[in-house]
Amino acid sequence: MHLPPHIKDSLIFETLKMEKDSFIEPNLKEFILDILFSAKFDGEDGYLFLLLEHQSKPDYYMVFRLFRYMLNIVEHHMKALKNKKFPFIYPLVFYNGI
C-alpha cells in the first residue's frame, strides 16, 4: 500500500477493514465512489477515506468537500462508537483529469 511512511508505519494492517457506510450526498453518487476503511493507528481508532471521482477538470473546492466528508465521518464515529475522541482520518483523492 502506497502511503506516506509515517502513516504506513503507524497503521496496524491486521486491523484494516472496509466499512459499509458512505458519506457522499445522494445526488452525487452517480459520479463519485467513496470507500471508508477503519483501522488502528498506533493503537488508536482511525480511518483511511478513499474518494474516487470521475471528472475532467480540477475541482478547486475539493478541500471543502473533503472537510465536509471528514466531519461526517467524525460524527458517525462519535455516534456509532460512543467515542468522544476524534479519530485519525487520512483522506485520499484519486483524480483522472489533466
pLDDT over 80 (residue 74): yes
pLDDT reported for residue 30: 63
**Could you tell me the pTM of the whole model?**
0.74
Give the pLDDT confidence of 1-54 residue by residue, as tens digits: 678 899 899 999 999 998 887 777 776 666 666 788 889 999 888 988 877 666
What are the boundaries of each domain within the chain?
5-95
Buried b (16+ CB within 10 A) or exposed e, 18-35: ebeeebbeeeeeeebebe
pLDDT reported for residue 14: 94
